[in-house]
Amino acid sequence: MPARETPDPNKRPGATGGGRGKPAPKGPLKPTRVPPAGSHPPRRDGPNPTSRRLGPPRGVAPHPRPTQGRLLNIVHEDDDLLVVDKPPGLLSASPEPQRQPTLFDLVKQHVRDSMRRKTKRGQGPKAYIIHRLDREASGLLVFAKSERAFIWLKEDFKAKRVHRNYLALAEGVVGPPGHAGTVQTFLIEDDQGRVTSMDLSQSRASDVRDQAKLAVTHYRVVAAANDRTLLNIRLETGRKHQIRVHLARLGHPLVGDPIYRARTDPLRRLGLHACDLGFKHPATGMSLRFHSDATNQFYGAVSMTPPSKAAQSPTEMHRTLPEDDAPVGPAFIPDLPLPREAHPTFAVAGSLSSVGSAAVIDQEQRSPGSIEGSPTNPSGPAPRSSRDAAPPASTSWDAVAPWYDSYLTGGGSDHYTNTLIPGTLRLVQPRPGARLLDLACGQGILTRALAESGAQVLGVDSSPRLLDTARKHPSRGAPIDYRLCDARELDSLGVTGLDACTCLMGLGNIDPLDAVLPAIARALRPGGAFVFVVSHPAFRAPVQSSWGWDPKANRQYRRLDGYLSSAQHPIAMHPGKDPGVTTWTFHRPLQTYVRLLAEAGLVIDALEEWPGQRASQPGPRAAEENRARREIPLFLAVRARRLA
């Protein structure tokens, strides 16, 4: 049986521009390397300042190391994460013991000390490393303090959903202020830890093909003077030494970087500072944005007056969408006050027939007679299809309400805790006072999470027993209004002006959708969002998909026997216990969802594919099963907005 993932605190999904990575296997490298330190290639922007030698003059101490007492500059801390501002000269982390503590060592010690103060007993460290900066670089880093934060932040870095900006001081004149460009190459690391840049043709060489990693860096000139350029850097990928190697490739290495042929060192440190870091909170989904000012030396090196301090602290959280995440289109209203007027009171016209309770069918672990075989038994049997059978008018989960509630509240499905709820909150961005509708709310597991933000939440479901169960669970946020309603008769509620509507694992149990989505659009305000999550229709289609094992290649794969044809299938609610209790699930290809959303006046502005977060028990296939589980998504999440 697959077990929950136990993350390795020293493992990272990807490094920042100053990150460290695993050395590539030893072997010859055919591509031309960056010229070694001390060589003087021709400069494109004027004479070389050869009179300014790298490093301090005689009698001057080398780059100072910060003392341990002022190393840990905490920017933000809560139960799930810790954001720190790293000084130059401090190693982010190391798998090997060091003479001096690394930043990660200090973070673990801080977490241990905090835990002792709270619990009056010593416990193991609860800190996980997510990304790194080079020793001589400075700036913002985030560490996880919980398993769910580690899982989500790791996936966010891997999926490039994290906003990262750097301030870099480079030698020479890259261009006039405002000049922008992109560097895209492949990077490879040798056994000495030195990174080489190569183009596509070089990366295809047989001896480096598996080692070369695509790297993309965007830059914009802030100022240029004194034969130096101040640059704003945004990373699309996060490879070791990425910024340093790419600027050296342009002929403009970072100051203070002798490894990549810099000849000057006006800052007496590496000219790289991680100034902006933005991501969604793994527990609340709230957008967090942090800023750290670079030292005045960065600006003085190009004769530029440092920017004035903002009215708020440079490291204060900004609870707005990062620029990279802002949806495009006239329907998006980013930070306008939530409308308060002309909002009708939540009301329901009456009790209606039932349909569409929220649920997630556990597709990571199955017993015979359920949707698919387990990854540990990829060829396990699946139920026979009932494509041509007619589902009943009601597909409510009312008959299994007690079991379903105990399944969720008793930890039966960690998919909700680790994946579904934090991912949905991240897409919804609930705020205090926002008016939200949770459609097919079931026993209220998402409804309560939305209410914790201070939002006004209306939970709607067709199962009286599930709603009774939902009302028994206390809300840790704003009061929740639960109403009985058929999702296909949503207009009967008379609700309009909603900021967002959610449907977590519910659309797959509702049919038809033709009347549901237009009613959702009418209930939303212009720019309001509809966020729904379903089992991935391409890779997790009920009955039509299953795990398979290739013994020759020792690879696990996903077998698909159908996709484009819509279908409906009866699903055993708790196979093995009472196989006679079933509900229905409806398969639709992605194009059907897109078409129905467009016909309802809803425009997609975000689409995410979420893998399962479980790990197999140790065994000969465990590593490959875990790889396949991470690569083949389990859920599809979509956010669509109502046009104005």
Catalytic positions, please? 134
> How many CB atoms lie under 10 A from the CB of residue 223?
18
The 8-class DSSP code of residue 255 comes to T
- Beta-sheet strand order (sheet of 635-642): 480-484, 456-461, 435-439, 498-504, 524-535, 635-642, 602-610
β-strand 213-225 against 228-235: which pairing, if any? antiparallel
In sequence order, the 6+-apart residues with CB closer than 8 A to the CB of 177 are 221, 222, 223, 224
In sequence order, the 6+-apart residues with CB closer than 8 A to the CB of 509 are 355, 356, 357, 358, 359, 395, 397, 440, 583, 584, 585, 586
Dihedral sign for Cα 485, 491, 495, 496, please: positive
Instruction: Please list the alpha-helical segments (H only) found in 502-586.
Output: 516-523
Q: Which long-range contacts (CB under 8 A, 24 or more apart) does 569-573 make?
A: 569/383, 569/385, 569/386, 569/387, 569/542, 569/543, 570/383, 570/386, 570/389, 570/391, 571/361, 571/370, 571/371, 571/383, 571/542, 572/369, 572/370, 572/383, 573/397, 573/399, 573/400, 573/403, 573/404
Nearest-5° Cα angle at 228, 224 to 233: 75
Classify residue 90 as left (phi > 0), alpha (psi -120 to 50) or beta.
Answer: beta
β-strand 213-225 against 195-198: which pairing, if any? unpaired
Instruction: Please list the alpha-helical segments (H only) found in 439-486.
Output: 445-451, 464-472
Classify residue 487 as left (phi > 0), alpha (psi -120 to 50) or beta.
Answer: alpha
Contact present, 104 and 143 (Cβ < 8 Å): yes
β-strand 524-535 against 128-129: which pairing, if any? unpaired
Phi, psi (5° rounding) for residue 247? Answer: -70, -35
In sequence order, the 6+-apart residues with CB closer than 8 A to the CB of 568 are 386, 387, 389, 391, 511, 584, 585, 586, 587
In angstroms, rounded to a whole number, what is the distance separating the alpha carbons of residues 232 and 506? 44
In angstroms, rounded to a whole number, what is the distance separating the alpha carbons of residues 74 and 391? 56
Residue whose C-alpha is closest to residue 463's, from 362, 511, 534, 394: 394
Q: How far is CA 311 from CA 230, 314, 315, 336, 559, in A?
A: 24, 9, 11, 20, 56
The structure tokens listed for 157 are: 């870095």
> How many CB atoms lie under 10 A from the CB of residue 460?
27
The 8-class DSSP code of residue 254 comes to B
In angstroms, rounded to a whole number, what is the distance separating the alpha carbons of residues 11 and 19? 12
